[in-house]
Chains A and B, each alone.
Chain A
Amino acid sequence: MTETAVASEAAAATDHGHAHQSSGHDTSTGISNNKLMMWVFLGSECLLFGALISTYMLYKERLPDGELGPSDVFDIPFTSLSSFVLLLSSLTMVLALSAISRGDYRNFRIWTLTTATLGAIFIAGQIYEFTVFYEEGLGYTTNIFGSSFYTLTGFHGVHVSFGIIMLLAIYIMHRQGRLNQDKAETVEIVGLYWHFVDIVWILIFTVVYLFPQPESVL
């Protein structure tokens, strides 16, 4: 082996050692595979929600005259309240992670259940909103706006519901003694998903509800 090859091999070993030491993960990249997998998943979710939001934006202005549109059905004060609830759940989620990271299990349990409850309140609000819209005459197949609106917000609601299931799962795992300070990364990964759902709602709330709407024709 030449001197240069030995030197580069030594440098590579040093780099690897440094990466391993700095991150504490025994992986080829030196970072957590589970966390990386979640980030890749969230990156791909951007495309999914990008498609749904773009479709909504394209279709909402192509309503035939006389059809029920956004300005006829939206209740902004109510949806604003739902947005605050979801925003608050992001805070409680990060407080849950902070608690388990320092071994404060009592607060971890409180914040995890609070986050799940806030998520459930958001979903209840969405179900109420859908029911009101339906009673006002906007069904899934009523028009192009209804289809794209229900698909977008429905997909988001399903994501929140999965988040609630994951939160309850980590709560139960903790109660069974299978999740403690050493496995705080599991909570962090669930938290990433939860914050992503919040981020998507930030986009939906602005683009779907707050951007200027086409004038009502009814």
Chain B
Amino acid sequence: MTDLAVNHDSDLHDGSHDDEHHDHPSDWFYIKIALILAFFTLIEVGTYFESVHNAPEWAMYAVLTFLMVVKFVMVGAYFMHLKYDTVMFRRVFIAGIVLAIVVYVIMFLAYNRFGFA
């Protein structure tokens, strides 16, 4: 991902219709992102198979959550252009995500989902 972040500038081109103050990446760059997302999805699906499925539950949760977050961020940053667009859009979207996380963590606590009580 770091390589992509560093090298993606070479994939940028000046769109003839630049409606925001950002450059759109090239089609090839989007294809590379999709291939990476597909690879991560393959790893996720791989956890379904019996040999991996017998791994400790905490490890399964950790790996799957990590891959889920990485895929989420990649789609948001590159396909939804949050990486290139004005910071206002990013703030609005992240505010919704943070609010949702806070509300539902409180709900889980109320239902003792984490088993603290």
Contacts and interface: CB of A to CB of B under 8 A. Distances in A.
A213 B16 CA distance: 50
From DSSP, what is the main secondary structure of chain A's interface residues?
helix
Nearest to A24: B19
A98 B17 contact: no
A174 B53 CA distance: 48
Interface string A45-83: 111011101100110000000000000000011001001
A168 interface: no
Interface size class of B (residues with CB under 8 A): 35 or more
Interface in B1-55: 15-21, 24, 26-27, 30-31, 33-34, 37-38, 41, 44-45, 47-48, 53
A133 interface: no
Contacts of B45: 76-77, 80, 210
B117 interface: no
B75 A199 contact: yes
A39 B100 contact: no
Interface in A154-190: 181-182, 184-185, 188
Contact of A195 (B79, B99, B113): B79
B105 to A, nearest CB: 9
Interface residues of A, number: 59
B38 A31 contact: no
A44 interface: yes
Contact of A199 (B24, B64, B72): B72
Contact of A36 (B17, B37, B68, B88): B88
Contacts of B57: 212
B113 to A, nearest CB: 6
Interface of A: 22-24, 29, 31-32, 35-36, 39-40, 42-47, 49-51, 53-54, 57-58, 76-77, 80, 83-84, 87-88, 90-91, 93-95, 97-98, 101-103, 181-182, 184-185, 188, 191-192, 195-196, 198-199, 202-203, 205-207, 210-212
Interface of B: 15-21, 24, 26-27, 30-31, 33-34, 37-38, 41, 44-45, 47-48, 53, 57, 60-61, 64-65, 67-68, 71-72, 75-76, 79-81, 86, 88-89, 92-93, 95-97, 99-101, 103-104, 107-108, 111, 113
23 contacts: A24-B20, A32-B20, A36-B92, A43-B93, A43-B95, A45-B96, A46-B93, A47-B96, A87-B37, A87-B38, A87-B41, A90-B75, A94-B79, A102-B17, A103-B17, A181-B17, A185-B19, A196-B80, A198-B79, A202-B72, A206-B67, A206-B68, A210-B48
